[in-house]
Amino acid sequence: MTETELEQEQQLIDKEFKALMRGMKDRMDDEDRDLIKRAFHLAKDAHAEVRRKSGEPYILHPIAVAQIVSKEIGLGPASVASALIHDVVEDSDYTLEDIERLFDDQIARIIDGLTKISGVFDLDVSLQAENFRKMLLTISDDIRVILIKLADRLHNMRTMESMPQHKQLKIASETLYLYAPLAHRIGLFNIKTELEDLSLKYTEPEVYRDIVLKLKTSQAGELKYLKSFSQVLNKHLKKEGLDFTIKQRTKSIYSIRKKMLNQGVGFDEIYDKYAVRIIINAPPEREKAECWKAYSVVTDHFRPNTERLRDWISAPKANGYESLHTTVMGPDGHWVEVQIRSVRMDEVAEKGYAAHWKYKEDASGQSKLDRWISQIREMLENNDTSAIDFVDEFKMNLIADEIFVFTPQGDMKILPAGSSPLDFAFNIHTDVGLTTLGAKVNGRLVPLNYRLQSGDQIEIITSQKQKPKEEWLGYVVSSKARNNIKSTLKSEHKEVAEDGKAILERKLRYIKVKPSKNLIQEMVKYFGLKNSSELYYKLGLKIIDNPQIKQFMRDQSGGFYNYLKKRIVGRSKKSQQKAQDRPAKTSEKRFLVFGNDEEKLDYKMAKCCNPIPGDDVFGFITATEGIKVHRKHCPNAVYLNSNMAQRIMKAKWISTEQTRYSSVLVIKGIDTVGLVNKVTQIISNDLNVDIRNMNIAGAEGIFEGIITVVVQDKLHLEKIIEKLKKVEGVDSVERRFAER
């Protein structure tokens, strides 16, 4: 680089750092200012010769992360300093001991946590479930570790343009699968929303661009309407003497896409893309009353949809979110969502955990976030499932809806939606859950698999003679209940299995047979079991008894294994003979090649998304079925890319001889006379396409149909879709994929 270019870079670095310091001006004294400057100079030295993939100096990344930590999350000087040096120990010769010597043990602990979990957020490796479990352990030490890492991930997502497409997809999938829900649970609503939108930009770029374009087209008219709507509210709220501000809000791109999918509707049918937020300035003792007063003003002048009232003021969400949401009918027949909250509630909603430091949560002094962190500790301490199962279970806890129920004394408990009395019992105490005999809900006895509703009052009946049962696992949804039931069952299973092992050894000694490892494995196969533990367990329960063991020994000595051996060998020879007898192909069919070397490998099409030529696809190496080919936008793609990216292979279509593929279409619209004939005419006659299956049903003038057609490739399918959309009465035609 030229001297001029280097000087320009240095000016840019100084400019960004000065912007960071200006943003911290009101939150630091001279000592804090010195701390942040020392962190900056250390980071600048450590990353002096390093550049990002975009070509810019690496030091701009930690400065940007520190700005997010300061401005968007609202953390203090120690966190900002830690953000500036978050990569120093991992990427340079500086050690953790150097950090402790140059700063203090508090910052050293944060950097230690950030370094330990770097593999989870590393852009060059796949998300490892076991590392994620380790990451959660750091929450109990200092949640600022997670907050800084989320800021790190957000900046990486904002600057991914220069990365290869396959890495963009992997990183976006990881973010969407786990880190956006994690940001939501911690209460970082804005960061969660941006992570989701940026993830969609890379996982479904065409969909993302389409929604962005449509929002731009409709935004001017919608915002003009909301401004007019807000002026009416402003006038009447002022009459009531309320101190407030009104903001207009646009629904996020990701949430619009999610709603379109969930409701099976198009962009134009989403009616709450824009909303109005009323923020009340009131002292803590008056804020709830003032919010309800504002709600009364809104509903006095605009008719509310009573089914859309959401009261998170009386019963806040687990992440601390408090707000009143209602949807009202505005002028000209437009539905408008109105959110009402206090200044404090708004700050908690925007900045999550950082705002919890500023505001007391309840009389006990323990925040909702503290209680959630306690639940994480319990999950980690009591969980012995596989790492990937643990991550799946944890994710479900992140995104689960909640209900609010009461103890007989009137204390409120927050549980996941779908909880049973057993979930409630384990929430009270592990011993209560383990000894639950029955339950009363609102004064009447209910079964243990009863699904609780918000407002229910539950009384648990216990007995010291009661023990958890296998079927309880099907009754519970909370991690605490599931983990404790599994742990107890496993302990009991182990005791029974140990008895079974002793029984088997006695029986084998009696007939003078040594219980070797090979013999035990043969018994496992013979009885169709998973492993030796299951064999011992069934022996302990006497499900496998003396006559069955004797029969095994008779078969083992001759008949059974000889028969099995002949069958396997015969099948193998038959398969080889078929391959030899098969005539050589005169021409290749359409096929895929895999990896950077474009190898021709055996593969199967995944049934979850039924790829056809022209689709963007990837190969996934399964444990038992070889390579399965999935669409890049398959319902399972996010899960596979986020959890098992090391088993993903690049795949490319090679076009030779035409082959036929099945694809399923969903067609909806207004039921008209002769519609089925028109559809059949277009597909079979006009386009000469085979219909493998067709089912169209109508009710009250509306129809929905599922049609399976046989096509050559994606372009062929798109031609059929475009033709069908032109049929009178047809509202939408979409390709259908299976859900994960």
Catalytic residue IDs: 90-91
CA of 620: how far to CAs of 435, 634, 665, in Å?
Answer: 45, 12, 25
Give one word for 661, left, alpha or beta, with left for phi > 0 and alpha for psi -120 to 50: beta
Tokens 């990216």 found at: 645
| Euclidean distance between the first and the last CA atom of the chain, given in angstroms as a whole number | 50
d(CA 110, CA 104): 10
Tokens 């008219």 found at: 221
Q: Show the DSSP H helices in 383-478 as ranges.
A: 387-399, 421-428, 430-434
Q: Which residues pair with 250 in a beta bridge?
A: 274
Tokens 């970082």 found at: 188
363 phi/psi in degrees, rounded to 5: -60, -30
For helices 479-510 and 421-428, the axis angle rounded to 10 degrees is 90
Q: Is 709 exposed, middle or buried (0-12, 13-18, 19+ CB in 10 A)?
A: buried
CA of 305: how far to CAs of 83, 263, 325, 328, in Å?
Answer: 45, 18, 11, 6
For 606, other C-beta atoms within 10 Å of its C-beta total 25
Residue type (1 letter), 254: Y
Tokens 């099948």 found at: 571
Contact criterion met (CB below 8 Å) for 428 and 460: yes
210-224 CB burial, b ≥16 within 10 A, e <16 = ebeebbeeeeeebee
Strands of 402-448, DSSP E: 402-406, 412-416, 436-441, 444-446
